[in-house]
Structure 1
Amino acid sequence: MATQTEKAPVRLPLQQALGLVLAEDVHTTVALPGFDNSAMDGFAVRREDVLDATSEAPVRLRVVADIPAGSGENPPLGPGECARIMTGSPVPGDADAVVPFEKTVQGVDISDEAATEVEVIEVPKPGANIRLAGEDAPAGALVGRTGDRLGARILSGIAAAGVAEVTVHARPRVAVITTGDEVMAPGSALEYGQIFDSNTTLVASLVAECDAEVAVQEHVGDGPREFADALARAVEAEVDVIVTTGGVSVGAFDVVRLTFEGDPEVSGVSFDKVAMQPGKPQGFGKLPTGQLVFALPGNPVSVFTSFEAFVKPTLSILATGEFSRTESSAIAVERWRTPPGRMQFMPVRFSQAGEVVRATSGGSGSHLVSRLSAAEAIALVPAEVEEVQPGDRLKIWEILP
């Protein structure tokens, strides 16, 4: 089954919509609240009956009805009569105020169903403690706008409006395939020449931070059959995007490039050198079955900067229809060299004064894994700059922890 790179909105129950983005407006199906109801535990009264009430001369009323929350009753109230009422309960049509329990003579227990009388010690204001029908929102009011991200508060408002399902942008489904015979799972016993796999965790976590779903997560060696089989499983899983790491350069064992370049017309994926550092070798394309493919380099810093530059905007557009990046600028407080003719993506951290320094010593080398964990942002150094000088103002991409 072919997938679409522009995902159509889907209709989902509220319980499955947390974190997704609305694809159409949501309106209330009823007025909120739908009826006049009590804002307090107390007594629904005819205000004219208690206009003389004081603490020295309480007004005694007969309790002729009990109205719990959820009651559909509308008991009539005559002169000198009231109804015991709970918070959220419908207010009788004859009542025009609710006297809270605290404004009655002490010793009268509102929970005592045997109580037949109550003494009111204070005159309530007109409409006191009554929530009027529709005062929160009239029927048809807007409670969710297209483009809103559905957090707990918005979902609660939509539920209160009587809406059970919403139309949202579906999370993109992503396959993460890391490659390399030398790559071993964390916790393994390493032999000489082997390294731990950090790319699987890195890419899968970055995908999740983009509100996308990691539908397939695999590590394969450098055998062409292994990689081809992993691709087939990703396609079978009906993912929207495939992200690979490693095997994209010009080496004899770069399985990702060799697999796709074996038949580029069929694969739809091509490879090139991008004027950036780190992350020069890149592959991108679209399979005949519809999946977008991002073939990223294998070194972790290259993977990170490439994901930020290319994959993150794509996943955001697939998930929400738009993309925006948090950009700022900051002053460099140290000197470092830059690669000639290539834009440098330098992991940096902020000083207490808000200036930036390299996240660790050594540069932006693609193998410097410790630089990633120390980074708070990425500084973009233009290709024409040969050396960053203290005092230079740099564009900054802010990143998640």
Structure 2
Amino acid sequence: MSDADWISFEQALDLVLGAVSPLGTERVPLPDALGRALDRRVEALAPHPPWDNSAMDGFAVRADDVRGARADRPVILPISDDIPAGAFPRGPLDPGSAARVMTGAPVPEGATGVVRVEHTDGGPDEDVRIFDDADAERHIRLLGEDVKTGDTLLEPGEELGAAAVALLATAGRGEVEVGRRPRVGVLSNGDELVDLDEFEEVLAGRRIMNSNGHALAAQLAASGADPVRLGIARDDPVDLRRRLERADDCDAIVSAAGVSVGEHDYVKRVLDELGFERSFWRVRMRPGSATVFGTLGGRPFWGVPGNPASALVAFETLVRPAIRKMAGFARPCRRSVTCVAGQDFRGPRAVVSFLRVLVASTESGDLVARLTGPQGSGNLGSMLADGLLALPAGTDTVREGARVRVIPLREWASPTA
């Protein structure tokens, strides 16, 4: 290994993101667009709401007709109209009257507010008694208050969550152009590995479980890709080559283990034989130092370390952003959050250290980060984390109470510290 391979994490991420591009688009039904990246701007074809409507169940009134209403001196108004949701007023609101109206129903022209039913006697007869004038000019949602015709609803690259899907529905989009999900081959390496169908070998102490294959496939699916299982390549160049050739229809490949310089680590040799164009072979990060990246047959190829925590951290930091870019997302990297160090944190100065942390909220509203436990690269349990706390290169200690940045991996789990 040369010093040129020992590149900074920032250089590595730039190389990875610079090597990939969005894969193009496909048209999918709106229900299938959830979690996908929108391809093109969406504009409103109609206003929302489409009419002045009531935000409450109650009675539409003119303000001048209810001024001064209170419990001991109610205002009594005749009910001139009854407008359930799905119906429309018979006409403008007659002065000196009230119209019964349900939430979402159009309010009659001339109404200035909707008195909530709790401030009335419910209008059991032809009249309604109003006991409070606080709603005289409230609870009417105006036409186009939320969205006007021609407004931009969503920008390209937006991740389509539930609210975005709802906006697309309001725009009448039964089908949506979204980024194509990358097909990514997932390969594990090593004679010592077995999968779930041979778990008895694990129980007997003869083999270890291929947890990386399952973890990487899960990470790919969560990142917006379709994982393609390539199985376990044995420590045999022929088997390794055969499995790599199975990925001919994939857009990228992620391979776990076999990328170091051990006598039986054949990945580098086989990659070279297949025309691998290397961008880097090692990164100044911990865990995940022995991460490989380049192109194989024009497709991105990552080789992540075999130690479980190393593999998962390398994926989160150097694979996931590229997969998201390939899938068309405008923001491929997670946004970090400011937290308070709940303990001293330490790491080697020469590298970026990604510490696995749990985050909890204090009564004062601060987010406090603490280690999940032992941080060894083989500790898979350390990845049951709320986030990754990055100690930058050149920093070996962060003291308790300092402000730190944490990359979220999931919802903050604990309500209190």
TM-score, normalization: structure 2? 0.68
Aligned match of 1:246 = 257
In structure 1, distance between residues paired with 2:317 and 2:167: 36
Deviates most, 45-54 or 190-199: 45-54
Query: Which of residues 8, 17, 23 in structure 1 aligns to 2:24?
Result: 8
1:2-401 maps to which residues of 2 (within 5 A)? Answer: 5-44=21-60, 59=76, 61=78, 63=80, 65-72=81-88, 74-75=90-91, 83-93=99-109, 98=114, 100-102=116-118, 104-105=120-121, 108-109=123-124, 117-121=126-130, 129-185=139-195, 187-190=199-202, 191-209=204-222, 211-222=223-234, 223-236=236-249, 239-251=250-262, 253-264=264-275, 267-268=276-277, 272=281, 279=288, 281-288=290-297, 290-319=298-327, 320-324=329-333, 326=336, 333=344, 343=351, 345=353, 347=355, 359-360=373-374, 366-367=377-378, 369=380, 372=383, 377=388, 380=391, 382=393, 398=407, 400=409
Contact 1:21 1:169 in 2 (8 A): yes
Deviation, structure 1 residue 7 = 1.9
Contact 2:181 2:226 in 1 (8 A): no
Report the secondary structure of 1:188's partner residue: helix
Report the secondary structure of 1:92's partner residue: coil
Contact 1:177 1:244 in 2 (8 A): yes
Deviation, structure 1 residue 82 = 5.8
Report the secondary structure of 1:189's partner residue: helix
Deviation, structure 1 residue 195 = 1.6
In structure 1, distance between residues paired with 2:132 and 2:227: 64
Deviation, structure 1 residue 33 = 1.4
1:199-243: CA deviation from partner (whole Å, max 9, x where unpaired)? 12332343345x22242134323144544443344333xx32210
Identity of aligned residues (%): 32
Aligned match of 2:4 = none
Contact 1:67 1:85 in 2 (8 A): yes
In structure 1, distance between residues paired with 2:408 and 2:34: 23
In structure 1, distance between residues paired with 2:154 and 2:213: 36
Deviation, structure 1 residue 179 = 1.9
Residues 99 and 219 of structure 1: CA distance in aligned 2, closer, same or farther (over 3 Å): same
Residues 77 and 195 of structure 1: CA distance in aligned 2, closer, same or farther (over 3 Å): closer
Report the secondary structure of 2:215's partner residue: helix
Contact 2:153 2:167 in 1 (8 A): yes
Report the secondary structure of 1:247's partner residue: coil
In structure 2, distance between residues paired with 1:78 and 1:375: 59
Letter in 2 for 1:285: G
Letter in 2 for 1:32: H
Report the secondary structure of 1:159's partner residue: helix
Residues 179 and 51 of structure 1: CA distance in aligned 2, closer, same or farther (over 3 Å): closer
In structure 2, distance between residues paired with 1:56 and 1:397: 59
In structure 2, distance between residues paired with 1:349 and 1:216: 30
Letter in 2 for 1:189: E
Deviation, structure 1 residue 51 = 7.7
Q: 5+ residue gaps in structure 2? A: 1-19, 361-366, 411-417
Q: 5+ residue gaps in structure 1? A: 110-114
In structure 1, distance between residues paired with 2:178 and 2:21: 16
Letter in 1 for 2:252: V
Larger Rg: 1
In structure 1, distance between residues paired with 2:313 and 2:161: 29
Residues 85 and 180 of structure 1: CA distance in aligned 2, closer, same or farther (over 3 Å): same
In structure 1, distance between residues paired with 2:65 and 2:389: 71
Letter in 2 for 1:61: P
Aligned match of 1:112 = none
Deviation, structure 1 residue 356 = 7.6
Deviation, structure 1 residue 182 = 1.1
Contact 1:331 1:394 in 2 (8 A): no
Contact 1:46 1:97 in 2 (8 A): yes
In structure 2, distance between residues paired with 1:136 and 1:97: 18
- RMSD between aligned alpha carbons? 4.6
In structure 2, distance between residues paired with 1:282 and 1:217: 20
Letter in 1 for 2:216: V
In structure 2, distance between residues paired with 1:49 and 1:359: 67
In structure 1, distance between residues paired with 2:145 and 2:132: 24
Contact 1:14 1:164 in 2 (8 A): yes
In structure 1, distance between residues paired with 2:118 and 2:86: 23
Letter in 2 for 1:71: A
